C-alpha cells in the first residue's frame, strides 16, 4: 500500500478529486454497460412470456380444453442459463 | 472448420455458447479489473512529474486501446456479414457499437479529467484526443445509421459498409490529425513521453488492459444474447426458453 | 460481347454524365444554391468574429474550407435522390454496364456542378475575406482536388441514406469525420502558400487522396445503392 492513511488515499496530494471522479464516472459507465444487456434480456424474456400467457388465455377462451402439452414436451435440449 | 463456421451462424447454439462463456468470463474480467485498478490506485508509487494524477492512466489507456480495437472488431464483423451473409456477424457488429462508443467516451472523459491537473485545462486539441473524438463520431454515426433503417437486415449491411469505410479511413484520419497537430503544436504544453514507464507501473496497466479486453468481450456477448433473443423472439427455441425460466 | 445493342461501359458512362449535367443545367437555381449558401455563410463570419481585415485574413483559409465542406455536404444528399425517387436507379442497378463506372459518372457530375464551380469562384470569396492574392491559386487548386474527394465520400453517405426519409441530417453525421483529412490538408495548402512554402506536397497529398477515393469509394457507393434499393 503506497498511502499511509485513508485520508491520504482520498486526497492524493490534491489530485484526489480528479482521480476519484475519473474512476467514479468510468466505473459507473462500465457498470451500466455490463448491466444493460442483462436487463434487456430479462425484459425480453418476460415480454415473450407475457405474450405466451396472452395467447394461451386466448386459446383457452376459444377451445375449452387445456392445450399445455406442446410447450413442455421438448425441455431437454435447452439448458437455459439463468443469472 | 466449416462446420464450426456454420455453427456460429446458428442462433441457439451461439446463445448457449455465449451464455456458458459469460458465466466464467464475466466474474474473471470483473476481478481482473478490480485487481488492475486497485493495484494501480493503491500500490504503485506516484509519477515523479505528474504526482498522483497519473493514476488515471490505469483506466484511460485501457479504455482508449480497447475502444480502437473495438472499431476493428465491429468492422471485421461487418465484413464477415457482408461477404458470407452471416446473420450472427450482423448481431456482433451491432452489439459492438455501443460498447465501443462507451469506451471511447470513457477515454475522452478520463483524458479531460487528467488534463485539468496536468496541463491546467480540461480540453486540449491534441492529436490523440482529437482522434479519439473522431472515433466517437464514427461510432455514433454507425449507431445512428442503424437506428434510421426500419428494415434491420438492410441496416446491418449499411452499417457494415460504413464501418469498413471507417477502417480504411481511420489510419488516414489518424495520420493527418497527427501531422496537423505537429504543425500547430502550442509551445506551452509539454507532453511526457510514454516510452519510459517503470515496470512497477506497467504491470498493473497491462492487467488493466487485459481486463478491459475481457470486459469488452463480455459486454459484446451479453449484447449479442439480448439481440439474438430480440430477433428470434418468434421462433420455437426462444419461446421454449422463455417458458422454461421463471 | 453478347449485347450488341447495349452501349459500351465508357460511352454509357459519358451518356450518364451528360444526362446528369443536362438535368443540372435545366435547373440553374439548384446549381446556384450551394454557391449562394457559400456566399451567405462567408458573410456570417465577419458578423460573428468582427470585420477587422487582419483577423479575417488569419481565419480565411479555415473559413473558406469549412464552408466549402458544408456546401458540398448539403448538396451531397441530392446525388442519387431524384433518380431513386423516380425508379431510374433501380434500372441502373440492373443495367449490364459495371455499376462502378456508372456511380463514378454520378459523382463526377456532382463534383463538376458543385466542387469545380466553387473552386472557380473561390477567389471572389477569398477577396471578400482579405486573403492575400498569392494564396488564391492554391486555394482554387486545393478546392478542385479536395472537392473531388468530398463528392466521392459524400456519395457513400448519399448512397447509404438515399432510401431513408430523414436522410438529410444523418448523412452529415456519417461523412463529416471522413472529410477531416481533406480539411486538414486543404487549409494547409492555403497556409503554405501564405507562408511562402511550397504547396506542391499538399496538392500531391490531396491528389493521392483523390486517387484512393476514386479507387475505393465507388465500391462502397454501389454496395450502398444496392442496399438502399433493396430495403
Q: Per-residue pLDDT tens for C54-89?
A: 888 888 889 999 999 998 888 888 888 888 888 888
Total domains, chain A: 1
The sign one gets for the Cα dihedral C193, C118, C212, B74 is positive
Q: Rounded to 5 degrees, what are φ and ψ at B87?
A: -65, -35
* Closest to C169 (Cα-Cα) out of B148, B72, B200, B61: B148
Mean of per-residue pLDDT scores for chain C:
88
Q: Using a CB-CB distance cutoff of 8 angstroms, which residues of chain B are in contact with residue A69?
A: none
The verdict on a CB contact (< 8 Å) between B158 and C228 is yes
How far is residue A77's CA from residue B239's CA, in Å, rounded to a whole number? 13
B91 touches chain A (CB under 8 A): no
Give the separation between CA B36 and CA B60, rounded to whole angstroms: 13
- CA B231 – CA B221 distance, rounded (Å): 15
C-alpha cell at B121: 485545462
C82 backbone dihedrals φ, ψ, rounded to 5°: -70, -35
- pLDDT exceeds 80 at position C4: no
pLDDT at A75: 43
Using the Cβ of C178 and the Cβ atoms of chain B, whether some distance falls under 8 Å is answered with yes
Residue from the list C160, C176, C230 with its beta carbon closest to the beta carbon of B161: C160
- Does residue A44 sit within a domain? yes
CA R_g for chain C: 18
Asked if B183 and C228 come within 8 Å (Cβ–Cβ), the reply is no
> Does residue A81 fall inside a structural domain?
no
Phi-psi region of B110 (alpha: psi -120 to 50; beta: other; left: phi over 0): alpha
The arithmetic mean of pLDDT across residues C125-143, rounded, is 90
Band of residue C90 on the pLDDT scale cut at 50, 70, 90: confident
Nearest CA in chain C to B163: C174
CA angle C197, C201, C207 (to 5 degrees): 140
How far is B144 from C174, CA to CA, in rounded Å?
8
Q: Find the CB nearest A71 among B26, B30, B240.
A: B240
Phi, psi of B8 (to 5 degrees): -60, -25
User: DSSP assignment, residue B51?
Assistant: B
3-state SS string over C134-166? HHHHHHHHHHHHHHHHHHHHHHHHHHHHCCCCC
Largest CA distance in chain C: 67
Question: What number is the average pLDDT over the span B145-164?
Answer: 89
A45 in a structural domain: yes
* Banded model confidence at residue A52, pLDDT cuts 50, 70, 90: confident
pLDDT above 80 (res B203) = yes
Cβ separation B179–C184 shorter than 8 A: yes
Task: Please return the burial class of A54, using the count of CB atoms within 10 Å of its CB with bins 0-12, 13-18 and 19+.
Answer: exposed
Question: Mean pLDDT in chain A?
Answer: 74
Query: What is the SS3 assignment for B193?
Result: coil
pLDDT for B71 equals: 92
Q: B51 φ, ψ to 5°? A: 70, -145
What does the pLDDT look like over C150-207, one tens digit per residue?
999 999 999 999 888 776 788 888 889 999 999 999 999 999 998 888 889 999 999 9
Q: CA–CA separation, B236 vs B228, rounded Å?
A: 13
In a domain, A17, yes or no: yes
Q: Is residue A27 part of a domain?
A: yes
- Cα dihedral C160/C163/C169/C175 (nearest 10): 10
Mean pLDDT of all residues in B223-228: 90
Which residues in chain A are closer than 8 Å to B46, comparing Cβ atoms? 2, 13
Outline where DSSP puts E strands in B182-243: none
Q: What does the pLDDT read at residue B107?
A: 92
Distance (Å) from the alpha carbon of C127 to chain B's nearest alpha carbon: 25
Helices (H) and strands (E) in chain C, counts: 10, 0
Residue A72: the pLDDT is 45
Cα distance between residue C57 and residue C38, in whole Å: 17
- Strand partners for B51: B47
Q: Which residues contact A35 (CB under 8 A, 6 or more apart)?
A: none
pLDDT at A2 over 70: no
Beta bridge partners of B47: B51
**Is A3 domain-assigned?**
no
Q: Which distant-in-sequence residues (6+ apart) come within 8 Å of C43 by Cβ?
A: C128
User: If you count DSSP H runs as helices and E runs as strands, how many of each does chain A have, helices first?
Assistant: 3, 0
Please determine, for residue B58, whether its predicted confidence score (pLDDT) is greater than 70: yes
Please check whether residue A57 lies inside any domain of the structure: yes
Tell me whether B105 touches chain A (CB under 8 Å): yes
Name the residue range of residue A30's domain: 11-63
- Find chain A residues with C-beta within 8 A of B63's C-beta: 26
The pLDDT tens digits of the residues spanning B81-111 come to 888 888 888 889 999 999 999 999 999 998 8
From B227, B211, B225, B223, select the one nearest B25 (Cα to Cα).
B211
Torsional sign, CA C116, C121, C125, C127: positive
Amino acid at each position: 500500500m503506497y498511502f499511509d492513511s485513508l485520508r491520504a488515499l482520498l486526497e492524493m496530494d490534491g489530485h484526489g478529486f480528479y482521480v476519484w471522479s475519473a474512476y467514479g464516472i468510468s466505473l459507473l459507465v462500465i457498470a451500466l454497460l455490463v448491466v444493460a444487456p442483462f436487463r434487456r434480456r430479462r425484459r425480453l424474456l418476460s415480454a415473450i412470456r407475457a405474450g405466451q400467457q396472452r395467447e394461451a388465455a386466448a386459446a383457452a377462451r376459444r377451445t375449452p380444453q387445456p392445450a399445455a402439452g406442446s410447450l413442455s414436451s421438448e425441455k431437454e435440449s435447452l439448458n437455459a442459463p439463468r443469472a | 472448420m466449416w462446420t464450426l463456421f456454420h455453427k456460429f451462424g446458428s442462433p441457439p447454439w451461439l446463445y448457449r455458447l455465449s451464455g456458458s462463456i459469460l458465466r466464467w468470463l464475466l466474474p474473471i474480467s470483473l476481478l481482473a479489473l478490480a485487481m488492475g485498478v486497485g493495484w494501480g490506485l493503491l500500490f504503485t508509487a506516484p509519477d515523479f512529474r505528474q504526482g498522483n494524477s497519473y493514476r488515471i492512466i490505469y483506466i484511460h489507456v485501457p479504455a482508449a486501446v480497447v475502444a480502437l480495437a473495438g472499431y476493428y472488431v465491429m468492422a471485421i464483423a461487418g465484413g464477415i456479414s457482408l461477404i458470407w451473409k452471416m446473420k450472427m456477424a450482423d448481431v456482433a457488429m451491432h452489439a459492438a457499437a455501443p460498447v465501443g462508443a462507451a469506451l471511447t467516451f470513457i477515454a475522452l472523459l478520463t483524458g479531460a479529467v487528467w488534463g485539468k491537473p496536468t496541463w491546467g485545462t480540461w480540453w486540449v486539441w491534441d492529436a490523440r484526443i482529437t482522434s479519439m473524438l473522431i472515433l466517437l463520431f464514427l461510432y455514433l454515426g454507425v449507431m445512428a445509421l442503424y437506428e434510421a433503417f426500419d428494415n434491420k437486415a438492410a441496416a446491418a449491411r449499411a452499417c457494415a459498409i460504413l464501418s469498413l469505410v471507417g477502417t480504411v479511413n481511420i489510419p488516414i484520419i489518424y495520420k493527418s490529425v497527427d501531422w496537423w497537430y505537429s504543425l500547430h503544436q502550442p509551445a506551452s504544453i509539454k507532453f511526457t513521453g510514454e516510452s519510459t514507464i517503470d515496470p512497477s507501473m506497467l504491470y498493473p496497466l497491462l492487467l488493466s488492459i487485459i481486463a478491459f479486453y475481457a470486459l469488452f468481450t463480455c459486454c459484446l456477448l451479453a449484447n449479442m444474447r439480448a439481440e439474438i433473443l430480440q430477433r428470434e423472439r418468434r421462433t420455437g427455441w426462444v419461446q421454449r426458453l422463455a417458458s422454461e425460466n421463471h | 460481347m453478347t449485347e450488341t445493342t447495349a452501349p459500351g461501359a465508357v460511352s454509357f458512362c459519358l451518356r450518364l454524365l451528360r444526362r446528369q449535367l443536362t438535368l443540372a443545367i435545366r435547373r440553374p437555381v439548384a446549381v446556384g444554391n450551394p454557391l449562394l449558401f457559400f456566399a451567405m455563410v462567408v458573410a456570417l463570419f465577419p458578423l460573428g468574429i468582427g470585420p477587422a481585415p487582419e483577423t479575417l485574413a488569419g481565419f480565411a483559409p479555415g473559413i473558406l474550407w469549412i464552408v466549402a465542406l458544408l456546401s458540398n455536404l448539403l448538396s451531397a444528399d441530392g446525388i442519387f435522390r431524384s433518380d431513386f425517387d423516380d425508379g431510374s436507379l433501380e434500372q441502373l442497378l440492373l443495367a449490364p454496364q459495371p455499376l462502378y463506372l456508372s456511380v463514378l459518372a454520378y459523382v463526377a457530375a456532382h463534383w463538376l456542378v458543385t466542387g469545380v464551380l466553387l473552386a472557380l469562384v473561390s477567389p471572389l470569396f477569398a477577396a471578400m475575406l482579405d486573403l492575400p492574392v498569392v494564396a488564391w491559386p492554391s486555394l482554387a487548386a486545393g478546392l478542385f482536388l479536395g472537392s473531388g474527394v468530398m463528392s466521392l465520400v459524400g456519395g457513400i453517405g448519399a448512397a447509404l441514406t438515399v432510401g431513408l426519409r430523414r436522410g438529410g441530417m444523418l448523412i452529415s453525421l456519417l461523412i463529416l469525420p471522413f472529410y477531416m483529412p481533406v480539411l486538414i490538408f486543404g487549409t494547409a495548402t492555403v497556409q503554405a502558400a501564405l507562408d511562402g512554402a511550397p504547396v506542391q506536397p499538399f496538392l500531391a497529398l490531396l491528389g493521392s487522396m483523390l486517387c484512393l477515393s476514386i479507387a475505393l469509394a465507388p465500391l462502397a457507393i454501389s454496395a450502398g445503392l444496392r442496399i438502399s434499393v433493396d430495403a
